[in-house]
């Protein structure tokens, strides 16, 4: 299984504090059947220098390379990029894409999701050639304009990722259940930050999701397998 959303790189963001914590997260992943992971440290475009971020990410990845090999987990490098106005016209964001054309996009902090936001998201794909994967969509279900995201998922302008922890929480929303029933969820991710406070719970999430829709679960797992193969081919 591929974990598409993780904060396992040590001392890069609010995720793993050191390599020891990374090792514990990798152990949790291995025990839950994860064979590949995309490291997606937070990138805040208005408060970070891109070159510095990429250098820090590369250094952290080199530090844990042996840990990944020992665990049998293939590491890919990406980022969880915070949305900002005009992102669809920014050539620099291409450097944050993984597999050459995918980017995890976070919408937290928006007052509402309006037509300007959805045009920006679409522009990432049609103007820059980047397929945006909207991170933890369940967090936006109560945002004003949330439903404007649905046509993006239906048309393939963007892909939908939900955190595994959502499916085992007490905060399930009707809106997200509709995404599952309409088979609009492309990926499930751990969004792990800490082996204790925000651990890997993909096994429990998949189990809970399967109880809601076995077919959607199969689609999500297959999407992960397909993306893993694509990422491996890209990096050869």
Say what the pLDDT of residue 198 is: 96
Tell me the pLDDT tens digit for each residue of 75-87: 999 999 999 999 9
Task: Report the C-alpha gap between 79 and 5 in whole angstroms.
Answer: 9
pLDDT band of 41, cuts 50, 70, 90: very high
The structure's pTM equals: 0.96
Task: Report the C-alpha gap between 18 and 118 in whole angstroms.
Answer: 37
pLDDT band of 172, cuts 50, 70, 90: low
Say what the pLDDT of residue 22 is: 98
Say what the pLDDT of residue 47 is: 86
Residue 167, pLDDT > 90, answer: no
- Of 29-38, 54-63, 173-182, 206-215, the poorest mean pLDDT is in 173-182
Residue 103, pLDDT > 80, answer: yes
Which H or E run contains 188? strand 187-189
pLDDT band of 228, cuts 50, 70, 90: very high
Say what the pLDDT of residue 98 is: 97
Say what the pLDDT of residue 174 is: 79
Percent of all residues in the chain with a pLDDT value above 90, rounded to a whole number: 90
142: CB partners within 8 A, 6+ apart:
173, 175
In total, the chain counts a number of residues equal to 236
Say what the pLDDT of residue 209 is: 92
Rounded to 10 degrees, what is the CA torsion of 200, 201, 206, 209?
Answer: -130
Q: Exposure of 50 by Cβ count < 10 A (0-12 exposed, 13-18 middle, 19+ buried)?
A: middle
Residue 9, pLDDT > 80, answer: yes
CATH of the domain at 9: 3.20.20.140
pLDDT band of 117, cuts 50, 70, 90: very high
Q: What's the structural domain count of the chain?
A: 1
Say what the pLDDT of residue 236 is: 76
- Supply the range of the domain harboring residue 60: 2-235
pLDDT band of 176, cuts 50, 70, 90: confident
Tell me the pLDDT tens digit for each residue of 186-213: 999 999 999 999 999 999 999 999 998 9
Say what the pLDDT of residue 129 is: 97
């Amino acid at each position: 299984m591929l974990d598409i959303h993780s904060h396992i790189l040590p001392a890069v963001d609010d995720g793993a504090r050191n390599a020891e914590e990374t090792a514990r997260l990798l152990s949790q992943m291995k025990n839950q059947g994860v064979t590949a992971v995309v490291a997606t440290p937070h990138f805040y475009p208005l408060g970070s220098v891109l070159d510095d971020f990429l250098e820090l990410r590369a250094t952290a990845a080199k530090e844990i390379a042996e840990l990944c090999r020992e665990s049998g987990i293939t590491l890919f490098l990406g980022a969880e990029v915070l949305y900002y106005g005009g992102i669809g016209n920014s050539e620099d964001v291409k450097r944050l894409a993984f597999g050459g054309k995918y980017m995890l996009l976070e919408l937290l902090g928006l007052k509402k999701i309006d037509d300007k936001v959805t045009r920006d998201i679409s522009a990432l794909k049609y103007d820059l050639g980047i397929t945006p994967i909207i991170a933890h969509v369940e967090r936006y279900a109560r945002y004003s304009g949330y439903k404007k995201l649905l046509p993006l998922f239906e048309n393939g302008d963007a892909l939908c990722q939900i955190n595994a922890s959502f499916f085992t929480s007490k905060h399930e929303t009707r809106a997200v259940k509709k995404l599952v029933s309409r088979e609009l969820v492309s990926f499930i991710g751990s969004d792990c930050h800490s082996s204790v406070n925000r651990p890997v719970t993909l096994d429990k999430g998949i189990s809970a999701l399967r109880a809601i829709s076995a077919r959607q679960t199969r689609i999500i797992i297959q999407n992960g397998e397909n993306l893993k193969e694509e990422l491996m081919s890209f990096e050869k």
